[in-house]
């Protein structure tokens, strides 16, 4: 056994592949172990995000939005088209080709940066040794100075709705329906439920979402959540909060779902059922006895603020550790860890991780919600600007939603920005930058925004924090 790599990364999702590339850029001899086999039966890089997550879901969201727009959204602009037809096969093929372009792109980036892809499974042994088993079953043990665990997450399964592979599916199955289900049930009113529920609803499914909690989007600012719920319900999503699925039964080509809510127990039949109730960290066969790495009671690998485990030189990043399960959070942790290994003092600012739900309109936020500030006893000012008052939103016929800014009452520092509306996912980046620089609401209010853009709504929300918004009647007026 000889030291053949300085750094071994296990997992090539957006956490692992970014960490591997950055480590190689910094001059380390780096290998990345990845076991994923793609639809073409070949090893594939990019993890959940590129293969079955962020990318394919966004491809279908974009395509289904175009279809929906062609069906209902063009007449108002004076554009008359014959009734569009859906070619679902072409839509799914387009998604697959974007996935293979991007996963192949990571393989290219590994080559140009000198990262060795070890196709197969990795296991952490004691003393920072890594056991690698290739897809043919050959085993090799590597000695290394640093290990980065980035094995990600998998969907949570629930006993009342065991997956059947065709009728009851998880998010991966929901990217592959070969025809549009007439009636689609979704368990879980979170990010996946809303995004994939929207895709199939736009393509013609009658969608019902069963959410166990009483609050819709409990992690979001509740004013924005309520506004979003109104918008999504108007689009045809039937969202049932405070509803628990108690059991499912496959009956021929349909699945019957029994659920309980305040109105009592009910049974309803669906053509397909998606289970989207969250994801759990994935560490199967990863940690050998005696490797020294600890896990918490929910299975997350325990790390400190800079993602180091109990064993010096062994790090863990991304979905397999605490914090939001988001691709960009994992990537930033990957960069931080590679730079720390190189002796730099990188950090991740967990207070400015943006969240985006890619519905139409999008929902996006960063920082604290109003509910959190109340709970923490922080005094704050609020500025709200509705897209109904935005000229650009009117031009686009996208006037639903608002921008809401929360700023500290005494320092005026921005504490949170919450948006439902056009391009919210891109606009939130402006708020993230502002918060990274410790900006006040006044800083944004004094910044010039191009006219007419939807971003002006962020400017006006900042002005509204002090009662100075120009294009709405301010709730609180200040000189
Ligand atoms: P993963 O991407 O899960 O990658 C882990 C990799 O490790 C996998 O490739 C796995 O095969 C490999 N692996 C595991 N164990 C081993 C082992 N022992 N040996 C070798 N390899 C191993 N996030 C966003 O930020 N934006 C979005 O729009 C978004 N959309 C999503 C849509 C869907 C439908 C889903 C399911 C998720 C979405 N996410 C989104 C979440 C995002 O995909 C994850 O947060 C992200 O992929 C986590 O990155 P990661 O590198 O930690 O893990
Ligand atoms: P989620 O945590 O976003 O939502 C799960 C929802 O299911 C919650 O509202 C929860 O209350 C509900 N739930 C839990 N158990 C239930 C039950 N038994 N019956 C009914 N409802 C139940 O999880 P998700 O939508 O599965 O997504 C998984 C992860 O992937 C999330 O952490 C998310 O961050 C990530 N993701 C991100 C994006 C994005 O950034 N746009 C997109 C998709 C997924």
Are residues 50 and 106 in contact, defined by beta-carbon separation less than 8 angstroms? yes
User: DSSP 3-state assignment of 127?
Assistant: helix
Instruction: State the burial class of residue 437 (Cβ atoms within 10 Å of its Cβ: 0-12, 13-18, 19+).
Output: exposed
Say what the pTM is. Answer: 0.98
> In CATH, which of 3.50.50.60, 3.30.70.270, 3.10.105.10, 3.90.110.10 is domain 168-277?
3.50.50.60
**Which of 77, 360, 451, 459 is the catalytic position?**
451
Say yes or no: do domains 4-155+280-348 and 168-277 share a fold. Answer: yes
Q: Is 72 a known active-site residue?
A: no
Q: Is 294 left (phi over 0), alpha (psi -120 to 50) or beta?
A: beta
- CATH classification code of 354-464: 3.30.390.30
The closest of 459, 452, 457 to 434, measured between CA atoms, is: 459
Ligand 2 nearest atom to the CA of residue 188, by list position: 7
334 Cα nearest atom in ligand 1: 51
Provide DSSP, 267-313: EEEESEEEE-S-EEE--TTTB-TTS---B-TTSPBP--TTSB-SSTT
Strand boundaries in 170-253, DSSP class E: 183-187, 206-210, 238-240, 244-251
Q: Is domain 4-155+280-348 in CATH 3.50.50.60, yes or no?
A: yes
- Ligand index nearest the alpha carbon of residue 15: 1
* Beta carbon of 21 within 6 Å of any ligand 2 atom: no
| Binding site membership of 424 for ligand 2 (Cβ less than 6 Å) | no
pLDDT tens digits in sequence order for the chain, 479 residues long: 555 899 999 999 999 999 999 999 999 999 999 999 999 999 999 999 999 999 999 999 999 999 999 999 899 999 999 999 999 999 999 999 999 999 999 999 999 999 999 999 999 999 999 999 999 999 999 999 999 999 999 999 999 999 999 999 999 999 999 999 999 999 999 999 999 999 999 999 999 999 999 999 999 999 999 999 999 999 999 999 999 999 999 999 999 999 999 999 999 999 999 999 999 999 999 999 999 999 999 999 999 999 999 999 999 999 999 999 999 999 999 999 999 999 999 999 999 999 999 999 999 999 999 999 999 999 999 999 999 999 999 999 999 999 999 999 999 999 999 999 999 999 999 999 999 999 999 999 999 999 999 999 999 999 999 999 999 988 766 66
For the chain, the domains span 4-155+280-348, 168-277, 354-464
Q: How far apart are CA 346 and CA 145, in angstroms?
A: 19
Distance 189 CA to ligand 1 centre (A): 20
* Ligand 1 nearest atom to the CA of residue 16, by list position: 51
Q: What DSSP string describes 225-249?
A: HHHHHHHHHHTT-EEE-S-EEEEEE
The ligand placed nearest to the CA atom of residue 121 is 1
């Amino acid at each position: 056994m000889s030291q053949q790599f300085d750094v071994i990364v296990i997992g090539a999702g957006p956490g692992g592949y970014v960490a591997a590339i950055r480590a190689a850029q910094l001059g380390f001899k780096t290998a990345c172990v990845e076991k994923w086999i793609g639809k073409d039966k070949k090893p594939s890089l990019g993890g959940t995000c590129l293969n079955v997550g962020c990318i394919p879901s966004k491809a279908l969201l974009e395509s289904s939005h175009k279809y929906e727009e062609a069906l209902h959204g063009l007449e108002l602009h004076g554009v008359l088209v014959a009734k569009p037809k859906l070619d679902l096969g072409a839509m799914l093929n387009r998604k697959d080709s974007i996935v293979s372009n991007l996963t192949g792109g990571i393989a290219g980036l590994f080559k140009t940066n000198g990262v060795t892809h070890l196709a197969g499974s990795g296991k952490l042994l004691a003393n920072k040794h890594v056991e690698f088993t290739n897809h043919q079953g050959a085993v090799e043990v590597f000695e290394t100075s640093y290990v980065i665990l980035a094995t990600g997450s998998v969907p949570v399964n629930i006993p009342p709705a065991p997956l059947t592979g065709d009728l009851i599916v998880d998010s991966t199955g929901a990217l592959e329906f070969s025809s549009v289900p007439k009636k689609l049930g979704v368990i879980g009113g979170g990010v996946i439920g809303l995004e994939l529920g929207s895709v199939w609803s736009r393509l013609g499914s009658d969608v019902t979402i069963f959410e166990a909690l009483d609050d819709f989007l409990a992690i979001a600012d509740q004013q924005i959540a309520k506004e979003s719920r109104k918008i999504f319900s108007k689009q045809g999503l039937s969202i049932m909060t405070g509803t628990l699925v108690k059991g499912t039964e496959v009956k021929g080509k349909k699945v019957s779902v029994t659920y309980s809510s305040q109105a009592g127990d009910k049974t309803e039949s669906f053509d397909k059922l998606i289970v989207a109730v969250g994801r759990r960290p994935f560490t199967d066969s990863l940690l050998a006895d005696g490797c020294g790495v600890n896990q918490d009671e929910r299975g997350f690998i325990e790390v400190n603020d800079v993602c180091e485990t109990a064993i010096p030189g062994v790090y863990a990043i991304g979905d397999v550790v605490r914090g939001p399960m988001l691709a960009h959070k994992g990537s930033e942790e990957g960069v931080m860890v590679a730079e720390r290994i190189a002796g730099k003092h990188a950090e991740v600012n967990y207070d400015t991780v943006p969240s985006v739900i890619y519905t139409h309109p999008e929902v996006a936020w960063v920082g604290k919600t109003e509910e959190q500030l109340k709970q923490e006893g922080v005094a704050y000012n609020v500025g709200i600007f509705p897209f109904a008052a935005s000229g650009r939103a009117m031009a686009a016929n996208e006037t639903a939603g608002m921008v809401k800014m929360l700023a500290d009452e005494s320092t005026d520092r921005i504490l949170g920005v919450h948006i439902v509306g056009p391009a919210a996912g891109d606009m939130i980046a402006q708020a993230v930058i502002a918060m990274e620089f410790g900006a006040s609401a006044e800083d944004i209010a004094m910044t010039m925004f191009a006219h007419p853009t939807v971003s002006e709504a962020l400017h006006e929300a900042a002005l509204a924090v002090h009662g100075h918004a120009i294009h709405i009647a301010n709730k609180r007026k200040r000189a």
